Amino acid sequence: MAKRSIPRWASEAVLRSAGNLQLIVEGKLTKENANSAARTPKIAVTKATGQAMEAWQQLKSDFKGTPLYRNPSTAKEKAFKKRFDQLVVSYGQQPCFPKLRERPDQQGRSPSRGRKPSSAGGDFLQMAKAFGEIARAFSGKSG
């Protein structure tokens, strides 16, 4: 098994730059010199992220005190969400952008409404029985 696994240093080198794969195959890149392997420059990503961060800061200051929700209800929340969606379209999903939250009155609710609380226990019991049958099948014992 150890002969077939990919060494960690090789995986990391290829993740840093796809060109490192050829160097590993040729034997030019080894465990000893893997830390000096080429890295893919991220200049374009950094520039876009910087512009996106500035745009997000400006948008946030325009709507100071207004929360950003996944499902807005007030006119100001809807305007904030609309402009935020335009930012995402312009810059793509950026790490500086926040994750949209649920409204406080919607938090903790499951999307499937009308489910009885007692059915969860029944589902668990069914699952436990099924696991028991599977275990007996693999042990060779019959029930």
Q: What confidence category does residue 47 fall into, taking pLDDT thresholds of 50, 70 and 90?
A: low
Q: Are residues 82 and 47 in the same domain?
A: yes
Q: What value does the mean pLDDT of the chain take?
A: 78
| 138 part of a folded domain | no
Bridge partners of 101, per DSSP, are 69
Q: Which domain holds residue 10?
A: 1-40
Q: Are residues 84 and 61 in the same domain?
A: yes
**Residue 69 DSSP code:** B
| 27 part of a folded domain | yes
Residue with tokens 């028991």: 132
Q: Are residues 63 and 30 in the same domain?
A: no
From CA 7, how far away is CA 10, in angstroms rounded?
5
Q: Are residues 87 and 52 in the same domain?
A: yes
Q: How high is the pLDDT of residue 75?
A: 94
Q: Are residues 34 and 67 in the same domain?
A: no
Q: How high is the pLDDT of residue 95?
A: 82
Number of domains in the chain: 2
Percent above pLDDT 70 for the chain = 75
Q: How high is the pLDDT of residue 81?
A: 93
Question: The pTM is what?
Answer: 0.45
Whether the Cβ atoms of residue 100 and residue 69 lie closer than 8 Å to each other: yes
Q: How high is the pLDDT of residue 21?
A: 83
**Residue 70 DSSP code:** S
| 12 part of a folded domain | yes
pLDDT in tens, 24-34: 888 888 888 87
| 118 part of a folded domain | no
pLDDT in tens, 110-142: 555 555 555 556 677 877 777 777 777 777 665
Beta strands per DSSP E along 1-143: none
Q: Are residues 10 and 33 in the same domain?
A: yes
Q: Are residues 69 and 34 in the same domain?
A: no
